Structure 1
Amino acid sequence: MTADHKARFQDQLNVSRETISRLDAYEALLRKWNPAINLVSPATLAGVWERHFLDSAQLFSIGAPAHGRWVDLGSGGGFPGLVVAILALEKCPALEVLLVESDKRKSAFLSTVARELSLNVTVLAERIEAIPALGAAVVSARALAPLDKLLGFANRHLSPDGLAIFPKGAGWRQELATAQESWSFKYQMSPSETESEAAILTITEVSRA
């Protein structure tokens, strides 16, 4: 099954063998570190190419700029941030990826992967609320917080013409309605390629309502 998922990933993203090799190396490091620091649910490792790699790569396909800074908040095991950085190395090498992860062990993992795979990545081992505004071209976050809280982060860290990309589960409509009570923003919804009830919200022009 892993081979099928890997082939699907390569077909859909049209990436080089070098990119697939980097993802293989990332998978190996994820499996090595996961028992000690619980980067992802062990049950999802068997389908890592679909559940984590492709799920993250669809965000890159939606919003990757040619240059500037992509900021991934609460990066955890590196999803989507490290996958974005691996794809960027081939597709848009001028893109800088910044990963924000306050857990010291997880940030150490992120730094190890970035170093071993020679990625254009900076890891900030700090709380999101404590860092200065980052002027990002793109802000992303996966399974981090409700949408209304994520929009507060986006409002702080996006450049004026920046883009926030937030994957959301089956309850995305309710999260959207709740967020619209406190925030003004424009959005587009894209169906998730990896989860039938999920959606990816692409958001611009965030301000307090």
Structure 2
Amino acid sequence: MSDPRKRLSTLGVSRETMARLEIYATLLTRWQARINLVGPDTLPDLWTRHILDSAQLWPMIPSEARRLADLGSGAGFPGLVLAILGAPDVHLVESDARKCAFLREAARLTETPVTILNRRIEQVEPLSADIVTARALAPLSRLLDWAAPHLASGGQCLFLKGRGAEDELTATAKEWKIGHRRIPSLTDSEGVVLQLREVCRGSAQH
């Protein structure tokens, strides 16, 4: 994999934004010593495994999008990264209070306006988001159970998935009708971004 910082520049990330991402990465490394924000074995490859992996969603967000809901934000991937890049009205949903404390500090230091919701996803009032994101959170069928109430009419889901994406799509077809597109991941040769539109409950089988 080439230098992830150079790859980020190809996504249109400015020097000023890159500096804010550097602040975020430094803070995460410092906090990782106290609480488990990311898998310890992924920390040396933080820029590729987490920051670039999240940032690859940025070009997929329509310019007319007005709100983004990130479910199970954890350390801020992908939601806080996307907010730093300029995604509008980002809501980070995370049930772990310690991770929320980290998100608040990261948002403060990077001067990134976000709304942090320290609740379980099921307890959050519908957010009417144009974009719903999630990463390494749950199987697709469960993700859709959580995402659908927060998705605005005409909105879309952007889910980062690994090698099991095809099987998850097959299983999901028993309960959901979705228009989907598979976009190869920039950071994982076996991974994809699932871009889902027209999400509605009901079997796609006839």
Task: Give TM-score, length-normalised by structure 1.
Answer: 0.92
For 2:61, which of 60, 63, 81 is the aligned residue? 63
Gaps of 5+ in 2: none
User: What is the letter of the counterpart of residue 8 of structure 1?
Assistant: R
Matched, 1:131 2:118: no
- The question of 1:113 aligning with 2:112 is answered no
Change (3 A) 1:30 1:202: same
Tell me, in whole angstroms, the C-alpha distance in 2 between the residues paired with 1:6 and 1:160: 35
Matched, 1:87 2:80: no
1:67 to partner: Cα distance: 4.2
Report the alpha carbon displacement of residue 64 of structure 1 after superposing the two structures with TM.
4.4
Q: Give 1:8's aligned residue.
A: 7
CA shift at 1:126, angstroms? 0.3
Counterpart CA distance in 2 for 1:203 and 1:152 is 13
TM-score, normalised by the number of residues in structure 2: 0.94
Question: What are the Cα deviations for residues 15-46 of structure 1, in whole angstroms up to 9, with x where unaligned?
Answer: 21111100100001100111211100121111
Aligned pairs, number: 202
Write out per-residue CA displacement over residues 90-109 of structure 1, whole angstroms, 9 at most, x where no aligned residue. Answer: xx6xx111100000000110
Q: Give the letter for the 2:115 counterpart.
A: T
Unaligned runs of 5+ in 1: none
Bigger helix fraction: 1
Cα deviation 1:165-204 (Å, max 9, x = unaligned): 0111001100000011111111111011110111111111
Q: Say whether 1:151 aligns with 2:149.
A: no
Identity fraction in percent = 48
Aligned to 1:42: 40
**CA RMSD of superposed structures (Å):** 1.5
Q: Structure 1 runs of 4+ off > 4 angstroms? A: none
- CA-CA distance at 1:14 after TM superposition: 2.4
In the alignment, is the contact (CA less than 8 A) between 1:185 and 1:203 conserved in 2? yes
